Amino acid sequence: MEVRRLPVTLRPDASRVLIRPFSPSDGSAAQPGAASPRGLRIISRVLSLSEEEAQHHWEVVCADFGQRHPHIESYFLERYRKVAHWMPTDAKITEVRQLLIGSYFTQEYSIEAAALFNPSAVEAPDQSGVPEGALRFVLSLRAVGEGHISSICFRGGIITPDFQIELGEPARWVVEARRDVDESFDRAWFCRKAREIGVDADMVDWIASQLTEKFTETQLREAVGHTCSLRRDSTCQAQGERLLLLAKSNFSVHFSPQQRYSERAIFPASPSQTNGIEDARFVKFTEDDGSVMYYATYTAYDGRVIFPQLVETEDFLHFHFRTLQGGAVQNKGMALFPRRIKGRYAMLSRQDSENIRIMFSDDLYTWETSDILAKPTQPWEFIQMGNCGSPIETEKGWLVLTHGVGAMRKYCISALLLDKNDPTLVIGRLKDPLIRPAPEEREGYVPNVVYSCGGLIHRGQLFLPYATSDWFTSFALVPLDELLDALV
């Protein structure tokens, strides 16, 4: 069949930077909220400057960075407020000196300096102004920067009526999503999740008795502190930390509606994400009543352990991060079906690092068991198989894009076809890969790899963005009828 590689690529651009908090290390672990000796010394040095010197150095900062970031003064003042409790005196200082102090606790971060890959494409929520026969899409990507930390960034694009791709120039500025302040939690949901992660039931009951039906992380912290002061239990503090970790791992972030897709970046923001947010697989999910939500399964990584988790959004402006629970929530590569099947949620997974598995649940956030769906069969997938995004519904069945790993750890993209009514049945399978690494695609951070986190169908064409050697992103179009005919 014809696989048309498009003359469009997305390559990492080190000039796309965002501003982030900077906390100079003291070389030792400090208690949360405790004064940083090094931070105190930095503040003291700024305070030692005369007003003229402070004004001069502030003007230098403005000249260097004022045109590189929007609203940078507001950010510096916010950073100053975060460290103001370290001030050695209660004496009031000028706004210029506050701004200067804030600048010393801020840094630029080149979000995609190392790689921009593992894309996932979905139909955009807003199709207004799109020419007839065209489609606006949202592309999510894994951006890798300093320290090999992975973030989620976005691009908006259009598939034109003649099946070209228009991405446009990315915005010069990148803005980190803002975390919602004092987000509320549902007490019944939180207590159930706490028991699922192994918090002692008695401890959960003690905490629950002090919380209202809706509560904030601040109120939870107060309840944990009060409980541990009353209970002389050696495990109380550890149990309390698990409760706080659960709260920190379920949070919301938002962007301004004025920010273009290419300005938006979701940087790791919870303890489980310390070392990155990897391989988001977005899917447009339609409920039985016709309502739409965009979900993405992704892998959170804290430097030691991977955590499969879920993010949800209606508009790509407000994102809600949720933990997944259950015995089947393991390993990487979970991908949600785009609708319920016989009233239940369905998900592809790969708990054993080798086979594609399938699982069902009545609860979107809890997955207990899985069954093998497909095993490595062809030589180019003998090492392992996995999905390349959520299944795509067609008239002939569920199209599942797959990846296979063969000799010399070479990755190829292929496909399966599942029965539309019973997706546990594989009714078609390509005998050859759909996409192999072309000669010009073999070199990169991880050589000999093509990989995707999700494509979409538009007017009889499979639009497939894919990663090239874990470095940059390419695009291809495949005639859907030819692909389905080849799935035998």
Same domain, 280 and 321: yes
Chain centre to alpha carbon of residue 408? 29
Same domain, 195 and 156: no
CA distance 347 to 297: 10
Which of 232, 248, 264 finishes a domain? Answer: 248
pLDDT at 34: 64
In contact, 262 and 156? CB cutoff 8 Å: yes
Same domain, 482 and 436: yes
Among residues 374, 418, 429, which one has the least CA distance to residue 394?
418
Which of 90, 110, 130 finishes a domain? Answer: 110
Which of 87, 110, 133 finishes a domain? Answer: 110
Same domain, 341 and 432: yes
Domain of residue 84 covers 17-110
Query: For 100, which DSSP code?
Result: H
Same domain, 35 and 104: yes
pLDDT at 33: 56
Per-residue pLDDT of the chain (488 residues; tens, 9 = 90+): 889 999 999 999 999 999 999 988 776 545 555 668 899 999 999 999 999 999 999 999 999 999 999 899 999 999 999 999 999 888 899 999 999 999 999 999 999 999 999 999 999 999 999 999 999 999 999 999 999 999 999 999 999 999 999 998 999 889 999 998 778 899 998 998 888 878 999 999 999 999 999 999 999 999 999 998 888 777 888 899 889 988 888 899 999 999 999 999 999 888 778 788 999 999 999 999 999 999 999 988 777 767 789 999 999 999 999 988 888 988 889 999 999 999 999 999 999 999 999 999 999 999 999 999 999 999 999 999 999 999 999 999 999 999 999 999 999 999 999 999 999 999 999 999 999 999 999 999 999 999 999 999 999 999 999 999 999 999 999 999 999 999 97
Same domain, 102 and 128: no
pLDDT at 31: 55
166 C-beta neighbours (distance < 10 Å), count: 12
Same domain, 171 and 200: no
**C-alpha torsion sign, points 220, 225, 231, 235:** positive
CA distance 404 to 402: 7
Give pTM, 2 decimals.
0.92
Number of domains in the chain: 3
**C-alpha torsion sign, points 15, 21, 27, 29:** negative
Same domain, 120 and 101: no
pLDDT at 29: 47
3-state secondary structure of 417: strand
CA distance 95 to 323: 41
